[in-house]
Amino acid sequence: MSDDVLTLIEGRVGRIRLNRPKALHALNIDMCLAMSAALDRWRGDLAVEAVLIDHAEGRGFCAGGDIRMVAESAKGDGVEARRFFFEEYRMNHALFTYAKPVVAFMDGITMGGGVGISLPAKFRIATENTKFAMPETGIGLFPDVGGGWYLSRLPGRMGQFLALTGHRLDGAECKALGLATHYLPADALAHAKGRIAEQPQAIAVILDDLDTDPPEAAILARRADIDRLFAADTVEEIFAALAADGGDWAAEQRAILETKSPQTMKVSLRLLHDGARMASFADEMAREYAVASRVVQRHDFIEGVRAVIVDKDNAPRWNPATPGGVTDHVIDQIFAPLADDEAWTPR
């Protein structure tokens, strides 16, 4: 299928190892298809009692998706971009609903697509190397791969803060917020994987035994500020709250938001507002697919990729340039359901 992802059986577990180190293991469509195929094979295989997901080498667990390909496709008919999201979301949903326990080792950069393959796992391991973020608003995208489901279920307004600012969390913060179930030193991971391969029925006991106390989670010191300043469901009101605060931290967050796409900040807030009430993860993924299909062919995504990834001038020219210029009508169009013959469905 793809050399960019290795799938094998080791002991009594199936191993999915991301193997694209030069791209920090960012997902392409062949990787998504290979992962889905492995999950399908192992679903009824009695010799496979659990699934482990990690990366083969390099400093990233998974830095996201194949954004360059998506942007190039979006400039034309968008067919390949939509196909990528369709297959990626099917793989995300397969992980979310998998009957056998899944263990994800978030050792390194875990962003975008990496969040989509780690948060569905029953066991999620953070380390001192973990750098977790959903930074999509900086390239005119939104926190997809289930972001509307996961972020909306974080305590208080933490999800809104992370979605809008793209703030990076370390491993200790992931554990404190429940994004990770365990915190292990990176040098203990090989031992953990070996024990799990031998005794997959004892995963919880093994990980609890190896779990260590993480450092202090710095984000918790800002919890009250985040809940207060990001309390509103409109971007304009959040900007106003940050401006009125008068403190240095609020000013820093406002400056960060001023660099983000106004359109996709509004998309992100709507996504989390609705995601908190979504009946099922499949419904969430169908909605995110409709939104993604439209957002990637709009100006801000193509311009954001140009500025951040292609030209690297980090000076995107958003259109509209301010939140006030993004009308409710535009957001409603982006969120409109797709026709039945175009809509996303699980396998």
The pLDDT of residue 218 is 98
Strand partners, 15: 8, 52
Q: Give residue for tokens 């208080």.
A: 156
Closest residue by Cα to residue 88 from 54, 57, 111, 65: 65
Q: How confident is the model at residue 59 (pLDDT cuts 50, 70, 90)?
A: confident
The pLDDT of residue 292 is 98
Tell me whether residue 144 is one of the annotated catalytic residues: yes
In degrees rounded to 5, what are phi and psi of residue 135?
-95, 20
Catalytic pick from 11, 112, 113, 304? 113
Mean pLDDT value across residues 44-57: 96
State which fold the 5-137+166-210 domain adopts.
Answer: 2-enoyl-CoA Hydratase; Chain A, domain 1 (3.90.226)
290 pLDDT exceeds 60? yes
Mean pLDDT value across residues 49-61: 92
Q: How confident is the model at residue 344 (pLDDT cuts 50, 70, 90)?
A: very high
Q: How confident is the model at residue 69 (pLDDT cuts 50, 70, 90)?
A: very high
Going across the sheet that includes 123-126, the strands are: 5-10, 13-18, 50-55, 102-106, 123-126, 182-183
List Cβ neighbours of 327 (8 Å cut-off, separation of 6 or more): none
Catalytic pick from 66, 88, 144, 303? 144
DSSP 16-47: EEE--GGGTT-B-HHHHHHHHHHHHHHHT-TT
Catalytic pick from 65, 108, 166, 304? 65
The pLDDT of residue 274 is 97
Q: How confident is the model at residue 347 (pLDDT cuts 50, 70, 90)?
A: confident
Q: What would you measure as the largest C-alpha separation in the chain, in angstroms?
A: 60
Q: How confident is the model at residue 57 (pLDDT cuts 50, 70, 90)?
A: confident
DSSP 226-263: HHHHT--SSHHHHHHHHHHH-SHHHHHHHHHHTTS-HH
Q: State pLDDT tens for residues 100-139.
A: 999 999 999 999 999 999 999 999 999 999 999 999 999 9
Q: Domain spans of the chain?
A: 5-137+166-210, 221-335
Residue pair 149/282 in contact by the 8 Å Cβ criterion: no
DSSP 145-169: TTHHHHGGGSSTTHHHHHHHH-PPE
Tell me whether residue 136 is one of the annotated catalytic residues: yes
The pLDDT of residue 7 is 96
**Predicted TM-score of the model (pTM):** 0.96
Q: State pLDDT tens for residues 131-186.
A: 999 999 999 999 999 999 999 999 999 999 999 999 999 999 999 999 999 999 99
Alpha-carbon gap, residue 111 to 236, rounded angstroms? 27
The pLDDT of residue 88 is 98
Tell me whether residue 341 is one of the annotated catalytic residues: no
Catalytic pick from 4, 136, 173, 303? 136
Q: Give residue for tokens 């990626």.
A: 88
Burial of 265 (0-12, 13-18, 19+ CB in 10 A): buried
CA distances from 226 to 170, 222, 238, 287, 304 (A): 17, 6, 10, 27, 26
Mean pLDDT value across residues 226-234: 97
Tell me whether residue 113 is one of the annotated catalytic residues: yes
1 pLDDT exceeds 70? no
The pLDDT of residue 192 is 98
Q: Please name the amino acid found at residue 289.
A: Y
Q: How confident is the model at residue 58 (pLDDT cuts 50, 70, 90)?
A: confident
Question: Whole-number mean pLDDT of the chain?
Answer: 97
